[in-house]
Structure 1
Amino acid sequence: MPNLNLTKFSGHWYEIERSFYLMELVRSCITVDITELPHGKLGVVIKAKSTWTGSFSFSEGVATPTRKDPSIVNYKVNSKLPKAFNKYVPRLVNYYLPGSGYYQVLRTDYGNYAIIYSCNDYGIAHTDLIWIWGRRKELNAEMRSDIYGLLSEYRLDSERLTLSKNANCTDDDD
């Protein structure tokens, strides 16, 4: 999606479906808030509820659109290291933190859904991940079917997707 409008894409998103991702196995009620930052960057805050403890965790980072295609972003998680360490190792640490990497917005209509894809090579392993985000907690069956059709155009298997654990999420969880 080479003409991604970052202003329209910004805002509050719910994770609706995803492919297997180890980091999200014990998480539910996942939301993503995207804000525009100076110099064309995006601030990203991911909120997730632990299915074990019921407590919430937050992950914050910055997504920098690539020059070649603004729908492809290099996302770096902000490290939680003490400031004394940050001046020595921030780039190296942030690159390898879970969640850091390249992500692409394959498709979005801005008001209802977004298809996010990531394929990262880490030398000894690689990840190939898909997320379906929605502006609301649920997508109707017709829209899901349309999204699955779009995934097949990219030769991505919708059978890999599982519904995100949003059944017991309240409005207070947003």
Structure 2
Amino acid sequence: MFILFSVIMMLILFILLPALAHSQQIFGGRCSDFTNTSIPNFDIDKYSGRWFEIYRYNNVIQMNADCTVVDVSKIDDNSFNADMKLKLFTPMTMHTKAHFIDPVKRNGKFIDKMPYLPELEYWVLDTDYETYTIEWSCIEFLKTNLQMLWVLARRPKIDEKTERKIQTVLKQNNLGKRGMRKSGNDPENCKCVYKDC
């Protein structure tokens, strides 16, 4: 029975691995432990509002979408809604709800729940609340890990100072060296995502 289960799991892995490789960044070993990197005393009120995606690792959820925005609205002191709007072939909206992993520590580590999908743990590695936020997620699978990374900002474009700050944080955390996709945020192409048409 165990041998049959192992064969089936290897077959599933063999079939899914190309799709996963295209959709997340695959790394060897365990997920990093950014113990001191997530935000202490994370403030949901300051975090609320609209965020525009600037960069990301490609992922299954967003595929090759552009114009991604996330509208964050506080539910209570420990949770918030995050409505992701994007343009694949046509504008789409995905509703998610996130809550602190540890409501006592409130350190920017969250569980995110989307309809019909497993819960996803993700961390806000760095933010100044007013300009940018860097979010990261990692799932371990056998002896590899699948990472997702998002860089978002309060505006569709960032200035050089903000870019330098973001790149410094990514470098300190050994992130963003490969496979970062710059989001297409052309105002004309994105108008029906940024505003209702």
Q: What's the TM-score once normalised by structure 2's chain length?
A: 0.70
Which of these residues, 86, 89, 92, is aligned with residue 57 of structure 1?
Answer: 92
SS in structure 1 opposite 2:155? coil
Q: Which of residues 20, 31, 34 is equivalent to 2:58?
A: 20
Root mean square deviation, CA, Å: 2.0
SS at match of 1:37: strand
Matched, 1:35 2:73: yes
Residue aligning to 2:184: 165
CA deviation after TM superposition for structure 1 residue 71, in Å = 0.2
Matches within 5 A, 1:1-174: 1-38=39-76, 40-50=78-88, 53=89, 55-67=90-102, 68-79=105-116, 94-95=117-118, 100-121=119-140, 126-167=145-186, 168-174=188-194
Unaligned 5+ runs, structure 2: 1-38
CA distance in 2, matches of 1:5, 1:114: 13
Aligned-pair identity in percent equals 23
Unaligned runs of 5+ in 1: 80-93
Aligned residue pairs, count: 153
CA distance in 2, matches of 1:40, 1:69: 8
Cα deviation, residue 153, structure 1: 1.3
Aligned partner of residue 22 in structure 1, secondary structure? coil
Report the AA paired with residue 122 of structure 2. Answer: Y
Higher Cα Rg, which structure: 2
